[in-house]
Amino acid sequence: MFSLAALSLLTIAGCGSSKITLEDLEAAVAKLPQDNTPVFVADNENDAVTDMLDIEKPSLKFGFIKLTDCAPLVIAKEKGFFQDEGLNVEIEAQSNWKVLLDRVIDGQLDGAHMLAGQPIGATIGFGTKAHIITAYSLDYNGNGITVSNDIWTQMQENDESLKSPTPPHPISAKSLKPIVDSYKQEGKDFNMGMVFPVSTHNYEIRYWLAAAGIHPGFYNKDNITGMVDADVLLSVTPPPQMPSTLEAGTILGYCVGEPWNQQAVAKGIGVPVTTNYDIWKNNPEKVFGVSAEWNEKYPNTHVAVVKALIRAGKWLDETDADGKLTHREEAAKILSGKDYVGADEDLIKQSMTGTFVFQKTDVRPLPDFNVFFKHYASYPHYSDCIWFLTQMRRWGQITESKPAEWYEETAKEVYKPGIYRKAAAMLVAEGKVTTAEIPEGEYDGYRPATNEFIDGNTYDARDPIGYINSFVIGNKDSDEIR
Amino acid sequence: MNWRGTALRLCNVAGMPIFEPFVRLAAGEDPKEQFKGIAKFVLLPIVAIALFVGAWSLAAKTVVTESMQLPSPSATWQAGADLFAMHFAQRAEDRVKKDEMLSEAIVFMVQAKSLENQAIAASSSDKETLLANALIYKKKAVQAANYVPSSAPTFIDQIFTSLKTVFFGFAIATLIAVPLGVLCGMSPWFNAALTPAIQMFKPVSPLAWLPLASLVIIWAYSNSQPGETFFEKAFLISAVTVSLCSLWPTLVNTTLGVASVDKDYLNVARVLKLTWSQKLFKIILPASLPLMFAGLRISLGVGWMVLIAADMLAQNPGLGKFVWDEFQNGSSTTYARIAFSVLIIGLIGLVLDRIMICLRNMVSFGNPVAG
C-alpha cells in the first residue's frame, strides 16, 4: 500500500551508508496520495504508547560457540525479538572459548554466549584479567559426560548392574575408579576432555570424579594446567571437536554440552554416562556476558538486549496444557542452520525436546535437560556465582583464603540483576511477561540451600567457607596454595 | 593486420598456451601438428582430471570411518550448488525484509501524522499525550527505516572477503618489499645488514606471526571505537599476517633482480651521466622487473595459502573461517561443503597465479619465461 513512498526511500537507502533521517521520511510520506492515507482513530489514543529505549548502538555483533545452549541468542534474532527492540544483531560462531573471551574484551564482539565461569574468572583475574559482567543467565543444565565404548565396556565389567540395556541412574564414577587405578599402575595417562579451565564442565567432571574418590588434579600458582596430583588428566578441547578427539583416542571421555554427547551416541563412538542434571539438579550453565566498559557506554542497549533475551528464553520454555515443550522442535530446526550449531536437526532435537539418548537402547525423558526460563533460570542469581567461586577455590584456581564477604562482593561485581529487573519491568509493562515469571521484588538473589547433588552434599551460598571445607577431595579454605 | 601474430602473442603473454593450437589451426597451419597440440593441452588434461575424479569416487566409497565419510564428487558438486543457492536466497530474503521495514516506517510516520492532526483539535492535556505519542512513532519510524540486514556472511561473501584481504595484505607486503629489495640490490652494505634478519624471518610460519600481529593491531586500535575506524580489526590482523609471510619472496627476488642488472647497462648510464633517480627509473627498475614479478607471483601464492590458515585460527572472516565453521558443524553435509571449499580455494589460487604470470610476461620484453 505504501510501496510508492517505500520505493523512494529505498533509493535513498541504496546510495551508500547515509542514514535515513526524519526529514527523508516526512518527504516520503508527503508524496503519498492523500486519498490513500489511512486515518488512525484508536480508542486508546490518549494512552501512552510504549516508549522505546534510546538505543546507543543499534548494530551489534555477538559471539557464540556451536552448542545448543546458545539458543536464546539465536531465537531472539530469528524470532525478531532483537528487532522489536530496534537492534540489528549479527551472531558469529567462534572457534573456541578463549578466542570468544578475548574478542569480547578487546571490543570486536559486543557480547557473547559465555561459560558462567568466564565473567567470574576474568573479573577475579584467573586467566585474562578484565571486568566482564552478566545480567542474563542463558540456561540451567544441558551438559553430559561421555566415555568411549571401550571404557564403558570396562565400567560394565566393574559393575554388573550397568550391563542392562537401561542401567539404573545416576551412574557414578565408582565403576570408573578401578580402570583409572589400573592405568596409574601401568604408568599410563588417563586423559579426559573438558572445554575451558573455568567452564562448568571442568567443575562438573571434577565433581563427578571426586565424588567417587578419583582425584582430578589441582591448580596452583605455577601450574595452571590443573594436573597436580591428578589421577585423571583433564585437558581443554573445544566442544565441537570432542567426538573426533574421542574417536582418535586422544581422550577416553569428556564433559561437554549438546549436541556433542548425542553425536557420540549417534556415531557409535561413545556412551554418555551421566548428565549434569544428575550431578546437580538445575545447575547454572551459560550466561550472556559483556564487558563492564561496554555496559557503561551502552546502558540502554544492554537493557534492550536483555529484554529480547528474556522473551527468547520464555519462548523456548513455553509448554502446552500437557506440559509438553511446544517450541523446541522449531528451535532445533533453527539451531541446525549451518551458521548456528550446524549439526543435523535430528541430533539437536534429541536433547532439545526433553529426552536424552544414553544408548540406542536407553532413551530417557529428561524434560529439564535444557531449562532456559522456568525456575527463574534466566535471572542472574548471586548464589550461582558463589558456587563457581567455591569450586575455583576448591581446585586451587583461587590460591589464597578469602573471607565469606569476599564471595558475596565478587558475586555482586559480576552478576547484575539490576539490569535484568529493569528489562523485565519494561516487559511486564508491555504485557509480554507476567510478574509471576520474575522473582519478586524483595528476592535477594540467593537460591535456597540444596542437597540435590550426586554426592548428597549441601550447598548454601551464605556459607561458602563451610561448603568448601565439606569436600573430601579438594583444597580446604585454610590451605595455602603455592 | 597480422591477427595471427597478435593472437599468438596474446596467448603467450596471458600464459595460456592451451589456445595456441586453436589459433594456428584457424590460421590454416598444418592440422596434424595442431591436433597434436590440442591432444597435449586439452585432451590429456581432461583424461587426467577424469582419472582423478574416478579415483576420488572410489576413495569416497572406501574412506568411511564410524563417524565420517569422504564426500563423493557428486555430493561435493551438490553441496556447492546448495551454497550458491543459499547465497541468493539470503540476498532475496534480506531485500524483502528491508522493503518490509521501509513500509513499516511509512506506516509509523502516517500514524504520527494522524496523531499530530488530532492534537490540533484536542484539548491541551490530550494534546500533550498525542504529541508525545506522535514523537514515539516518529522514533520508531526512523529506526525501522534504518534497518540493516544482519544475516551471517554466505559462502560467496566469504570468497570476496578473502580476496579483499589477500590483495590488501599483498599490497602492504609489496610496498615494503620492493623498496627494501631495491636498496638491498643496489647497496651490498645494506644487503649485508639485512640478510641475517631476512634469512631468519623468511621461514617463520603464519601461525607464529598471527598472535603477534593481533597483539599489535589490537594495541593500535585500543583507543578507537568500533565502527569509527576505517578497517575492522579482524581484517587487519589477517592482512598483516599475510603481509608478514608473503613479503619475503618479493624482497629476495627484487634484491637478486637489482643486483644482477647487466653491467653494460650501468656503464651506459655512467657514460650518459644519468642522475641517481634517472638511473633507478630508466635502467635498474625496468631491467629487474621480470625477476621482481617472479617474486611477486610467489608472494601472492604464499599469501593466499597463509590467509586461509590465518582465517581458521583467528576467526577472521573469510574462506578459512567458513571451512573451520563447517568442520565444527559436524552435520551430514559438512565434509562435502569442505571439499567444495577446497576446490574453490584451489581454483582461486590458480587464477591469482595466472594473473601474476600474465603481469610478469607483460614486463618481460617479449621473452616470457615458460611456466
Contact A6 B103 (CB under 8 A): yes
* Rounded distance between C-alpha atoms, residue B334 and residue A291, angstroms: 34
**Tens of pLDDT along A429-473?**
888 999 999 998 889 999 999 999 998 899 999 999 999 999 989
Query: Is it the case that residue A40 has pLDDT exceeding 70?
Result: no
pLDDT exceeds cutoff 50 at A279: yes
User: B143 and A59 in contact by Cβ < 8 A?
Assistant: no
- Is the predicted pLDDT of residue B118 greater than 90, yes or no? no
From B91's Cα to the closest Cα of chain A, the distance in A is 14
Q: What is the mean pLDDT of residues B243-258?
A: 91
Of the residues B136, B138, B325, the best mutation for testing chain A's interface (the one with the most A CB atoms within 10 Å of its CB) is B325
Check whether B82 has a pLDDT greater than 60.
yes
Query: Considering only CB atoms, which chain B residues are within 8 Å of A40?
Result: 110-111, 114-115
Show Cβ contacts of residue B38 under 8 Å, excluding neighbours closer than 6 positions: B21, B22, B25
Report yes or no: B167 at the A interface, CB cutoff 8 Å: no
pLDDT tens-digit series, residues A162-216: 988 889 888 989 999 999 999 988 888 899 999 999 999 999 999 999 999 999 9
Interface of A with B in 222-261 (CB under 8 A): 238, 240-241, 243-244, 247
Give yes or no for B126 touching A (CB within 8 A). yes
Distance CA B168, CA B231 (A): 11
Phi-psi region of B15 (alpha: psi -120 to 50; beta: other; left: phi over 0): left
pLDDT in tens, A241-266: 898 889 888 899 999 998 899 989 98
Chain-wide mean pLDDT for chain B? 85
Q: How far apart are CA B295 and CA B360, in angstroms?
A: 10
Task: Provide, rounded to the nearest whole percent, the portion of chain A with pLDDT above 90.
Answer: 55
pLDDT in tens, B321-340: 889 888 888 778 888 999 99
Chain A interface mutation, best of B84, B100, B109, B115, highest count of A Cβ atoms under 10 Å: B109
**A1 → chain B, closest CA residue:** B103
The pLDDT of residue B212? 86
- Kindly report the CA angle at B235 between B348 and B94, in degrees rounded to 5? 80
pLDDT at B45 > cutoff 70: yes
- Read off the pLDDT band of A76 (50, 70, 90): very high
pLDDT over 90 for what percent of chain B? 24
Distance (Å, rounded) from C-alpha B350 to C-alpha B45? 15
Query: Which stretch of DSSP H or E encloses residue A398?
Result: none
Note whether B329 contacts A103, CB cutoff 8 Å: no
Is A128 in CB contact (< 8 Å) with chain B? no
Residue in chain A nearest B217 by alpha carbon: A106
Return left, alpha or beta for A445; rule: phi > 0 is left, psi -120 to 50 is alpha, else beta.
left
Q: Does B269 contact chain A (CB < 8 Å)?
A: no
Average pLDDT for residues A410-415, to the nearest whole number? Answer: 94
Which one is predicted more confidently, A421 or B143?
Answer: A421
Print the SS3 string covering chain B. CCHHHHHHHHHHHCCCHHHHHHHHHHCCCCHHHHHHHHHHHHHHHHHHHHHHHHHHHHHHHHCECCCCECCCHHHHHHHHHHHHHHHHHHHHHHHHHHHHHHHHHHHHHHHHHHHHHHHHHCCHHHHHHHHHHHHHHHHHHHHHHCCCCCCCCCHHHHHHHHHHHHHHHHHHHHHHHHHHHHHHHHCHHHHHHHHHHHHHHCCCCHHHHHHHHHHHHHHHCCCCCCCCCCCCHHHHHHHHHHHHHHHHHHHHHHHHHHHCCCHHHHHHHHHCCCCHHHHHHHHHHHHHHHHHHHHHHHHHHHHHHHHHHHHHHHCCCCHHHHHHHHHHHCCCCHHHHHHHHHHHHHHHHHHHHHHHHHHHHHCCCCCCCCC
Residues of B in contact with A32 (CB under 8 A): 106, 110
Quick one: cell of B12?
603467450
Is the CB of A76 inside 8 Å of chain B's CB atoms?
A: no
Contacts of B136 in chain A (CB under 8 A): 49-52
Q: CB A95 to CB B313 under 8 A?
A: yes
Give residue B7's pLDDT.
81
Average pLDDT over residues A307-331: 92
Window 291-330 of B: residues touching A by CB (8 A cutoff) are 312-315, 324-330
Position A80 pLDDT exceeds 80 = yes
Among A86, A287, A391, which residue's Cα sits nearest to residue B105?
Answer: A86
Question: Nearest CA of chain A to the CA of B220: how many Å?
Answer: 11
Binding-face residues of A in 276-335 toward B, CB within 8 A? none
In this prediction, residue A43 has a pLDDT band, given cuts at 50, 70 and 90, of very low
